[in-house]
Amino acid sequence: SLLAQNRVSIAKTGKDTISRQIYGHFAEHLGRCIYDGFYVGEGNKTIPNINGVRTDVVQALKKLKIPNLRWPGGCFADTYHWRDGVGPKKSRPSMLNIWWGNVREDNSFGTHEFLNMCELLGTEPYLSANVGSGTPQELADWIKYTTHPNGSSPMPELRQQNGRTEPWNVKYWGIGNEAWGCGGNMTADYYANLYRQFATFMSNGSKDYSLFRIASGASDGDYTWTETLMKNIPHSLLDAVALHHYSVIEWAKKGPSTTFDEETYMKTMKQALLMEELVTKHSAVMDKYDPKKKVALLVDEWGGWYDVEPGTNSAFLYQQNTLRDAMIAGTTLNTFNNHCDRVKMANLAQAINVLQAVILTEGNKMLLTPTYHVMEMYTVHHDATLLPVEVKSEDYKLGGDKLPAVSVSASKDRQNRVHVSLVNIDAKKANDVTVDLNGLPAGTITGRVLTSTKLQDHNTFAQPNKVAPTAFSGFKRDGDKLTVSLPPFSVVVLEVK
Ligand code: AHR
C-alpha cells in the first residue's frame, strides 16, 4: 500500500485541557542556575539587567511563555531558611550549600528577588518549602509573609518593612523535596505524617485562589511511595503528589553530553520513554484512591542527566544539550500532553546552566539550547484541548534493542486550530507517518521542524544558531489522509486550520 507503516489517528474532539503548567521550569540554588544564570546582581554594569535579573534571559523565557518556576530547590530547599534571604542584603547571613559543592550561599537572591522576578517573567511561582530541616511554623510564616494582605498580622508587616506592600500571588507550595533521599531519608509512612502536620498550618490569605499543596513524591517506579501518600494523607489536605524521573543511563557512569555514540543514545531514550510507563502506572495507583482525579500528578523534576562539561565543577551539573535532548523533550512533553487528565504540571530540570537547560550563559553571552526550541514549538499546546491520538509506530532498532520510533500528541486551541507534534527518535532512518485527520477541517497546513545533520549537534557561544527550528513542508495531503515524512531525530509541529 502507499500508506506508511506508521499510522496516527486523531480524535475529532477531546474533553481534557493540556494545562500550560506542564511546560514549567525549575530553578535551584545549584551551580550557575541562579547566580550567573538568572541573577547577576543589581549593581552589575557589564551584563544588562532589570533589578539584577538578566534582560536577555527575561526576553527568552517570556517567548517560551513559561507558566511556572519552581524554587529554591531541589535538595537545596530542605536546607533553606527563607528568613535568611529577606531584609537588607548586607545583614543577610550566609550559609553553606551542602548539596552543591559546599559553596557559600550569600542569600543575596531571596524571596523578594525571586517573586519579583516571577512577576517580571509573567510566570507563577512554585515555592518548595523546607520540611527536612525546617518547621511547620517556618512554612506557615513564609505563606503569611508572601500571600497575606497587609495589616493582617506581623508577617505582612515585615514584608512591608522590607519594601513590598502588596502580597504576591503564590498558589503552588511544595511540602519538602525528595523526602526519601536528600529531603530527610524518610520512610513514606513517616513523611505522610509530617506532610499532614505541615499542611495543617498552611493558612490561605488570598480570596482569589486557594493554596495548591504538593507532596514530595516518588522516584521513578516507586509505586509504594505514591500509594502510601494517597492512602495516608486526607485528600482535603492534598492537591498533588510529585514524581521525579531523570533520563540517566547509570548514576555511576552517565557519559558525556555531546560525544556519545548511538548505543548510548538508545539507552538514554529508553530512560526517556520510560516516562510513559511511569506516568501510566503512578496514575493507576492514584485512580485506586482518587477515581475522580482530584489529586494531580506533578512531574516536578525531569530531563537528561550526563557528566558535567570537562573542566567545570562536578557539583554544578553544567552540561551541553544536543538533538538527543530535543528527542527527550519532544517525547516527554507528548507523554505529558497525552496524560493531561492526571498530569497537571511538570518542571524541566533545570532552566539555566544546570542539567537539561533551555538556556546557557557565559559572561554576557547567552544561547538557546535545542530543548528551548522544542519548548517554544510546543507552546501551541498550552491550555489547548487534548485530541487523543492512536499511534502505530515502527521500531527504532539497534543491535538487539528496540523502541517505538514515533511519538505524537495533538490538541485544538481556542481558535480551533489543531496542532500535532510528532517526534521521530530513529537515529538513522526517516519515518513516513500517515495521519488520519478524521474529518478535521484542514484548509491550510503549515509546519516547523527541529533537526540537524548530526545527533550530537548543539549550540555553542561561537555558533549559537546551529540548531534552530525551520519551516517544514515534508507532508502531502490526500483527502483525509496526511503523509508526513519525519527526518531522522526530528521534532515536527504541524498546524492544521
Ligand atoms: O535537579 C538536581 C537534583 O536532582 C535536585 O536537587 C534533586 O531534587 C534531584 O535529586
Helices (H) and strands (E) in the chain, counts: 9, 27
Q: How far is the CA of 75 from the centre of ligand 1 (A)?
A: 6
Compute the distance between CA of residue 216 and CA of residue 210 in angstroms, rounded to an integer: 19
What is the per-residue pLDDT for 443? 83
What is the per-residue pLDDT for 441? 77
Q: How far is the CA of 383 from the centre of ligand 1 (A)?
A: 28
Residue 301 known to be catalytic: yes
Q: In this structure, which topology does domain 6-11+387-496 adopt according to CATH? A: Immunoglobulin-like (2.60.40)
Residue with cell 546582581: 41
pLDDT digits (tens, 9 = 90+) for 119-161: 999 999 999 999 999 999 999 999 999 999 998 899 999 999 9
- Any idea where the domains of the chain sit in the sequence? 6-11+387-496, 20-383
- CATH architecture of the domain covering 20-383: Alpha-Beta Barrel (3.20)
Among 30, 98, 178, 347, say which to mutate for ligand 1: greatest number of ligand atoms within 8 Å of CB: 178
Q: Which atom of ligand 1 is found nearest the CA of 177?
A: 8
Same fold, 6-11+387-496 and 20-383: no
SS3 helix, strand, coil % of the chain, rounded to 5?
A: 30, 30, 45
Q: Which of 105, 124, 301, 394 is catalytic?
A: 301
Look at ligand 1, atom 9, and give the residue with the nearest C-alpha.
74
Q: How far is the CA of 365 from the centre of ligand 1 (A)?
A: 26
Look at ligand 1, atom 1, and give the residue with the nearest C-alpha.
349
Q: Which residues of the chain have pLDDT under 50?
A: 1
Q: Which of 113, 124, 178, 394 is catalytic?
A: 178
Look at ligand 1, atom 2, and give the residue with the nearest C-alpha.
74
Q: How far is the CA of 220 from the centre of ligand 1 (A)?
A: 13
What is the per-residue pLDDT for 460? 98
Residue 362 known to be catalytic: no
Residues 6+ apart with CB under 8 A from 88: none
Q: Which amino acids bring their CB within 6 angstroms of ligand 1?
A: 28, 73-75, 177-178, 301, 349-350, 355
Q: How far is the CA of 74 from the centre of ligand 1 (A)?
A: 5
What is the per-residue pLDDT for 332? 99
CA distances from 335 to 166, 279, 492 (A): 39, 8, 15
Rounded to 5 degrees, φ, ψ at 38 are: -75, -45
